Amino acid sequence: MEIRVEGLVKHYRSEGRTVKALDRVDLHIPSRSIFTLLGPSGCGKTTLLRCIVGLETPDEGEIRIGDQLVWSRRQGIAVPTEKRGLGMVFQSYAIWPHMNVFDNVAYPLQVRGLPRAQVQQRTAAALRFVQLEGYGERPATRLSGGQQQRVALARALVAEPGVILFDEPLSNLDAKLREETRKELKRFLGTLGITAVYVTHDRVEALALSDTIAVMQAGRVVEVGTPRQIYFDAAHQFVADFIGRANLLPAIVREQGAGSTRVDCALGAIACAPRALPAGSAATLCLRPEFLQLHAQGASATGNVVHGRIESLAFVGDACEAEVRVGQALLLARTDPDTPLREGDAVSLSIEPAHCLLLAA
């Protein structure tokens, strides 16, 4: 089921102040895909999710789920949460500690008064799906964090919703379990083929899990795209900076060349991936640390080549992170963990034009 949000506005009033949590949000969430709302704390992700679910009342705009208009100020429509056909998984798993696993999952069917045999069969199927078959009798609290999250997922799925919404569901898990559960969740959602709307402020989670990411800032959706589009080809500086580590340098567009846009910046003249920006305009050059190749000075290098000196070098396990002074600029570069280079070494840095992203200033 697809979701369409148009012109959504939501203010909160507390302690005499008014906060604009959503500022005219337009969004199309395609059906059968994982759609992530990503942004820093306070940008309005949860508010948007809660408006879609029906737990918050917007001030203006419209929300459609599938063919149904579920909220419209203009038309005076406000479909209650339980009639919107949605499943939800929260950050706190909201597992009921006094119930066993089976009863936790069966609850949404029991409150609807479904016949016992049907409850039994559908709950067993949901538990099988999240690979918790055989755990039904176990007290819900006697499960690991990852297993409890799967119980929450099974409970959201058991009512067979057209859309499932996740609000930071993995944030209570430790880093390793979080990664495992994320992979598992992606597999589950892929198998189910339903629409999933996922809220997170964790960029790696968003990149790894999503078909589409909407980046939010101060109550607005700034950019929407696939993970690769958002990471490699962002249009806005805020998005490029938020989605990954980046060296951002002010630049002036010099000319449009054959297959590249040439700029001047603190590194000198740099050939960049083509961007339709007029000569003379101000821009920001975005260089991802993993695409800066470090070489001992004198070694051959291709692409844009600049020269500098390593100011600091930190071993971080899967890489060495070097801060390289090039004139006025201090660039962060990631290189091999077993690099022979040392702090103080004179080095060349090469950067392919395709990995020099220009952003409108």
Q: Are strands 260-265 and 77-78 parallel, antiparallel or unpaired?
A: unpaired
Nearer of residues 46 and 304 to ligand ATP, judged by Cβ: 46
Q: Which of 47, 147, 148, 260 binds ligand ATP (CB under 6 A)?
A: 47
Q: Which of 23, 28, 31, 42 binds ligand ATP (CB under 6 A)?
A: 42
CB of 167 to ligand ATP, least distance (A): 8
**Per-residue x/- marks for ligand ATP, 7-36, CB under 6 A?**
-----x-x----x-x---------------
CB of 96 to ligand ATP, least distance (A): 24
Phi-psi region of 98 (alpha: psi -120 to 50; beta: other; left: phi over 0): alpha
46 counts as binding ligand ATP under rule CB under 6 A: yes
Q: Which of residues 130-169 bind ligand ATP (CB under 6 A)?
A: none
Q: Which of residues 308-347 bind ligand ATP (CB under 6 A)?
A: none
Q: Which of residues 195-224 bind ligand ATP (CB under 6 A)?
A: 201
Q: Which of 45, 84, 182, 275 binds ligand ATP (CB under 6 A)?
A: 45
> Which backbone phi and psi does 204 adopt, to 5 degrees?
-65, -40
**Stretch of residues binding ligand ATP (CB under 6 A), selected from 39-47, 122-130, 277-285, 336-344:** 39-47
Nearer of residues 204 and 299 to ligand ATP, judged by Cβ: 204
CB of 202 to ligand ATP, least distance (A): 10
Residue at token pair 């969740």: 185
Residue at token pair 């369409």: 4
The C-alpha angle 78, 80, 84, rounded to 5 degrees, equals: 100
As beta bridge partners, residue 265 has 251, 268
CA distance 335 to 359: 25
Residue type, 41: S
Torsion of CA 247, 248, 249, 254, to 10 degrees: 110
Nearer of residues 52 and 310 to ligand ATP, judged by Cβ: 52
DSSP-based three-state secondary structure for 291:
helix
- Cβ atoms of 297 and 341 within 8 Å: the answer is no
- Taking Cα atoms as reference points, which of 257, 324, 332, 341 lies closest to residue 291? 332
Q: Which of 27, 43, 95, 119 binds ligand ATP (CB under 6 A)?
A: 43
Number of residues engaging ligand ATP in binding (CB under 6 A): 13
91: which 2 tokens?
Answer: 């950050």
Q: Which residues bind ligand ATP (CB under 6 A)?
A: 12, 14, 19, 21, 39, 41-47, 201
